Amino acid sequence: MNSRQITRRSFLKGMGAIAAGGTLPVSLVELAFADSSRNFTFAYISDSHIQHIKGTQFVRNWDRGLIRSVAETNMLLPKPDFVVYGGDLAQLGTQAELDHGAEMLAKLNYKYHCVMGEHDYYLDLGRYWGKLFGPHYYSWDHKGVHFIVLNSILTYDKWTHERWPTPEQRMLEMAGLDNPNGSPFMVGKKQRQWLQEDLKTLKKETPVVLFSHSPIQKIYKGWNFWTEDAEEVQALLRPFADVTVVYGHVHQIQYNQIGNISFHAVMATAWPWPYPESYAQAKTHLPKITVPMNRADPFFERDATGWQFINLKTGRIDISYNLYDNTNRTVAYNRKTSRPEDTTYQSPEKRIPPQSHY
């Protein structure tokens, strides 16, 4: 057996005790690597929203989502090269929540990189998060791919620094997804300048993968499925042949192609969010190519939540959604159509009733 191949058997072996329980929560990905030196995998966990109740009590439901994703990621074979945590580790940005989340993440057997979410940021403007996880934006190279992390959940200075009497209130106002007192996310000038510098010497054929919390495209402003300066960031990425943006925040499957840039959203481990089209009073711009996730069944606590297994093939990604209580999904870049596509449900006649949201 090729050691770089995931087969049902090797996977089951890795699953150990969990597999013995009878359910198989992770997709069985068959990966055939043509050139194993260029191709690799990583895992993506996001939006756990660890929520403090009081004392040592945290919301059990959200804890379970993160614990499960960490345990399952640890059992992947072959092992991912690293893990990305996509932001919103905490619900209200407190030290108790960030510490509790960090403790669970520390159980990962891999190196992990963190992305800032608005729920991590707006209490102390990312100070404690920075202590735990390091810089808010940075980049690194791995096996010929350039990886970038941006803090895309900043907003207008006036809103951040002048509008609210206390940091606690500022956090609460930003934490409400549908709160009309919120403010649109943005990367901001400082980071855009940094990004421009960061990309300056990079060869145009180098694959670029950018991780952000908000979409770096404009989908629905009312819930901040939105980045105010998305076009400016996209323009900086335009010269490169293969660019992929992976984002959290939306707690649902989304994917899109804008010019040279592929966009993929990841699931939350905590709870799913409705598609904006299911808010009757809103006009939205969900990417037309997105085949939605199934409507969530609230009676299954972990339905429509999960984590991702990402395979980087020749500069573009295949993303496998490991859904806890539902059929897994795979969205992969199709070289023929030059866009990401669901490998099962993409053509209209393949759609199933639970994928209709209203």
Partner 1 sequence: MSISLRLLAFTLVPLILFTGTTLADDFTQKDQDRWQKEYMSVVEKGRALWVSPKLGTNGVSCAQCHPNGANTHPETYPKFQQQLGRVIPLRDMINWCILNPLEGEELNPYDPRMVAMEAYLAHERKGVPMAPGKH
CB of 52 to partner 1, least distance (A): 8
- Shortest Å distance, C-beta 119 to Fe ion: 6
Among 63, 72, 88, 124, binds Fe ion (CB under 5 A): 88
Considering only the stretches 25-33, 206-214, 289-297, 330-338, report the one whose residues sit in contact with partner 1 under the rule CB under 8 A: 289-297
Work out what residue 20 binds among partner 1, Fe ion, none; the CB cut-off runs from 5 to 8 Å by kind.
Answer: none
Q: Given the DSSP bridges, would you call strands 145-149 and 208-212 parallel, antiparallel or unpaired?
A: parallel
Smallest distance, Fe ion to C-beta of residue 178, A: 13
88 interacts with, out of Fe ion, partner 1, none, CB within 5 to 8 A per kind: Fe ion
Q: For the chain, give the secondary structure using H, E and C.
A: CCCCCCCHHHHHHHHHHHHHCCCCCCCCCCCCCCCCCCCEEEEEECCCCECEEECCEECHHHHHHHHHHHHHHHCCCCCCCEEEECCCCECCCCHHHHHHHHHHHCCCCCCEEECCCHHHHCCCCCHHHHHHHCCCCEEEEECCEEEEECCCCECCHHHHHCCCCCHHHHHHHHHCCCCCCCCCCECCHHHHHHHHHHHHCCCCCCCEEEEECCCCCCCEHHHCECCCCHHHHHHHHCCCCCEEEEECCCCCCCEEEECCEEEEECCCCCCCCCCHHHCCCCCCCCCCCCCCCCCCCCCCCCCCCEEEEEEEECCEEEEEEEECCCCCEEEEEECCCCEEEECCCCCHHHCCHHHCCC
Q: Is position 352 an interface residue for partner 1 (rule: CB under 8 A)?
A: no
Of Fe ion, partner 1, none, which one does residue 303 interact with (CB within 5 to 8 Å by kind)?
none
CA atoms of 66 and 50, how far apart (whole Å)? 8
How many chain residues interact with partner 1 (CB under 8 A)? 32
Q: Does 279 bind partner 1 (CB under 8 A)?
A: yes
CA separation for the pair 135, 33 (Å, rounded) = 33
Q: Which of partner 1, Fe ion, none does residue 325 bind (CB under 5 to 8 Å by kind)?
A: none
**CA-to-CA separations, 257 to 141, 218, 286, 303, in angstroms, rounded:** 24, 13, 12, 27
Stretch that binds partner 1, among 35-43, 142-150, 238-246, 290-298 (CB under 8 A): 290-298
61 or 330: CB nearest partner 1? 61
Query: Using the rule CB under 8 A, is 67 a contact of partner 1?
Result: no
Which of Fe ion, partner 1, none sits in contact with 278, Cβ below 5 to 8 A by type?
A: partner 1
Among 26, 29, 31, 47, binds Fe ion (CB under 5 A): 47
Could you give the CA distance from residue 72 to residue 88 in angstroms, rounded to a whole number? Answer: 20
Q: How far apart are CA 117 and CA 114, in angstroms?
A: 9
Q: Is 273 in the site for partner 1 (CB under 8 A)?
A: yes
The least distance separating partner 1 from the CB of residue 268, rounded to whole angstroms, comes to 10
- Answer for which of 165, 280, 288, 336 binds partner 1 (CB under 8 A) is 280
* 296 contacts partner 1 (rule: CB under 8 A): yes
Residue of the chain from 106, 235, 282, 352 that contacts partner 1 (CB under 8 A): 282
Dist. CA 348–CA 150, nearest whole Å? 35
- Minimum distance between the CB of residue 46 and partner 1, rounded to whole angstroms? 16
Q: Contacting partner 1 (CB under 8 A), which of 295, 325, 330, 355? A: 295
Binding-site member from 78, 117, 188, 207 for Fe ion (CB under 5 A) = 117
Which residue has 């040592």 as its token pair?
Answer: 56
178 binds partner 1 (CB under 8 A): yes
Q: Which stretch binds partner 1 (CB under 8 A): 7-15, 22-30, 50-58, 231-239?
A: 50-58
Contacting residue, 130, 184, 222, 287, with partner 1 by CB under 8 A: 222
Q: Which residues bind partner 1 (CB under 8 A)?
A: 49, 51-53, 59-61, 176-179, 222-223, 271-274, 276, 278-282, 295-299, 301, 353, 357-358
The residues that touch Fe ion, with contacts defined as CB under 5 A, are 47, 88, 117-118, 249
